[in-house]
Homo-oligomer: A and B are copies of this chain.
């Protein structure tokens, strides 16, 4: 394998070896585009650089010099020649684009002698010394690690002295003076002079670029984007062209389409008489590309044609860097342009219509995760925001409203038509009605999978979690700003949150509504034609169900019945059911709950007419519906000191406390919940089944096509499902009998969550009693790892992810080696016993792209996710089919 590849030799397919930039420069060169000559030192050399402890491999310099000789021949200049000096740029270029993360040195090859030659050669001494001072600064920065402010200080002093405002006004003599002071900075900070030998310059620069692969921000970026450390960077050495040699020079960046809206127009900006860096650094304000048409019509036309040609060549929107040197256009870089979700959708759909790409390619162009931007409200303002703090971006979307500090106030104010943001240290199931009433939720504790986060995502409400800068005291919170000021937000004050970025903002902000654009709808329709994986939704209310259906959900994969128990009006009935001392008392409370539940189900059946609705019977431990133990203990203690309290009040509290203690569990996650409840207290499940079938009959009589599926939670042993199946079948036929309907008038299925490791392991036994499996990957992850969601984050899990012990938070990205292995086993064993077994996933992973790919690969029939994630999942499912055809079907 060669260590160095010239732009003539390379091509776009050599991206692994040459990096993205090098491969593209070679590709453009091969296409006959005007690219300054150059070559690439491969990523393989970078790996050897690190293997060798940060030394350039032996022999590399000889090859490098040989390549420089070829460059000299091409440019008719010589490196270090005092008359016709060749100048080069030395740039990083990784396989995966990491914009701005690594280092670049321009104008390499200048020294005290060659600068004079450049001045003569270009007839522009001012330009030549400007180049030289730029080199010294960049070199000091990149090679010797000297902070920029040392150099900026000198420049500021010079301008003060010359009484000038703009760098462009400084004459050659000014730059010469500055060069002397820059050299002094180098000597002082680096302990050695700026090297006058150009080949020493080159060697030091190449090593420095390799080193920059491991600088702090590059490492951070790689971790963030899951780029392997072993990939390494290439180094591109290219003859310099100058956009700053005079009025017929310039430099700019260009997108072949508008990266923000997707519109098919050239988009970009440029600066006359400047180097690329001036554009990036923001020292001067660049001019929109459209102006170039007037300023340099030939160049504009050439650029326009080149842009079209490049788009055609790469079959994607391009992000191009160009320089005009004395009226001649050079292309310095082209790559696929980054774009907003909106632009991505529009460009992909239009490129299909232009015949450029296929439906499948269009779908693969979309990063499903970015669609979130389109599907939620966003902040829509140019005003600077008064950001108070940043928490975890727990549920996307922006919201604005009055701060309230408890669920009851949230509900009361919302009923009066006021928009509110619920602010809590953390939420509990008792706050659900408050979350429902609020525009968004802000908590000071808890992670991405805390109760507030999970519930908010389920409801599609914006949520910022674990914002520990927010100190809540009673009915206000305060934030200490970095400047030392403390801002206090009291109940009723306007506050805004952005659940996509985690920002907490003082005051109201204007919001932009999400829309399913025509292009997105078209793209989704193509995705539906391609994908084999169905997309269901998790929805607990008719509103959510309708929303999900609008977004294309093909059924409800998870309808949680516990949230129906949490509505404020129902909590007392639910509590009296739990606190009942006798079966009779409990039966009475259940009879009160029955019509409420029936109404819930009717609403959902109506919204999902013709589609399956998978209803999970009650899952959480009963104590979640009761007051907090610690609070009760305190209350009891206080009552004992209060002579005004009536004995029966005391007795009532004592009895409540006793019951709460009885139900209290050391590890509620592993306690009496799910079907364990259904087995110990079957009457609750019987009531729920009765409500389902009464609702089904009502809707059927109203002419609807009702398709209820009943799902048993937390099964770990086949016998649990067997008995629960018996209970459902028996209760259903009793209810239908009472309503004078045949037992088979409503067709329904009975299935189970697979969320306990043992259920996955013994899936063959369990499948005998199941019509479907639904993987509850939240709980399955908890138990397979032995991580409590409530505790892990903020304690050890954050530490694990930060120190790269784990590649990801397994509650966000499905752990394929562990949890996924169990799923694969379960599907295989389940389908062996029952080939027509329906399988799906209803954990939060159902909306995550790699997890959807995995679900597709192991042959699941559907994924179920929150309503707003349905379009995301439709795209991801199609991508999965396009990239990894389903091996099971």
Mark A residues whose CB is within 8 Å of B. 629-630, 633-634, 637-638, 641, 665-672, 676, 679-680, 714, 716-717, 719-720, 723, 755-758, 761-762, 765, 779, 782-788, 790-792, 795-796, 799-800, 803, 805-806, 815, 817-819, 821-822
Contacts and interface: CB of A to CB of B under 8 A. Distances in A.
Contacts of A805: 679, 717, 719-720, 723
Given A666-B669, A670-B791, 11 more contacts: A634-B637, A637-B638, A665-B790, A667-B788, A669-B670, A676-B796, A679-B796, A757-B784, A758-B784, A758-B815, A762-B818
Most chain B CB within a 10 A radius of its CB, from A714, A717, A756, A761 = A761
A194 to B, nearest CB: 42
A719 B779 CA distance: 22
Contacts of A819: 758
A665 B796 CA distance: 12
Nearest to A675: B796
Contact of A670 (B638, B786, B799): B786
A855 to B, nearest CB: 18
B784 A672 contact: no
Most chain B CB within a 10 A radius of its CB, from A716, A799, A819, A822 = A716
8 contacts: A629-B630, A634-B637, A666-B669, A670-B786, A680-B795, A714-B786, A755-B786, A761-B818
Nearest to A779: B786
A721 to B, nearest CB: 11
Given A637-B638, A796-B680, A671 B784 contact: no
A450 to B, nearest CB: 10
Given A634-B637, A671-B791, A717-B805, A784 B761 contact: yes
A226 to B, nearest CB: 16
Nearest to A787: B670
A218 to B, nearest CB: 22
Contacts of A761: 784, 817-818, 821-822
Instruction: Quickly give the copy total for this chain.
Output: 2
Given A629-B630, A637-B637, A821-B761, A672 B791 contact: yes
Nearest to A781: B758
Contacts of A669: 666-667, 670, 786, 788
A637 B631 CA distance: 11
B667 A668 contact: yes
A251 B631 CA distance: 72
A757 B786 contact: yes
A680 B797 CA distance: 10
Contact of A790 (B666, B783, B784): B666
A495 B680 CA distance: 36
A180 to B, nearest CB: 48
Most chain B CB within a 10 A radius of its CB, from A630, A670, A817 = A670
A755 to B, nearest CB: 8
Contacts of A786: 669-670, 714, 716, 755-758, 779, 783
Contact of A800 (B679, B714, B756, B818): B679
A670 B667 contact: yes
A758 B803 CA distance: 20
Nearest to A669: B667
B806 A719 contact: yes
Please provide the 5 A-B residue pairs with the shortest distance between their CB atoms, ordered closest to farther: A670-B788, A667-B788, A758-B818, A666-B790, A671-B791
A808 B800 CA distance: 37
A671 B630 contact: no
B762 A785 contact: no
Given A670-B782, A757-B784, A806-B719, A762 B817 contact: yes
Contacts of A758: 784-786, 815, 818-819
A720 B785 CA distance: 12
B790 A667 contact: yes
B666 A795 contact: no
Contact of A783 (B633, B676, B757, B791): B757
A667 B784 CA distance: 15
A638 B641 CA distance: 10
A147 B749 CA distance: 49
A637 B630 CA distance: 12
Contact of A788 (B666, B755, B815): B666
A775 to B, nearest CB: 14
Contact of A716 (B668, B676, B785): B785
Contacts of A719: 805-806
Contacts of A762: 817-818, 821
A762 B785 CA distance: 11
Contacts of A799: 679-680
A667 B714 CA distance: 17
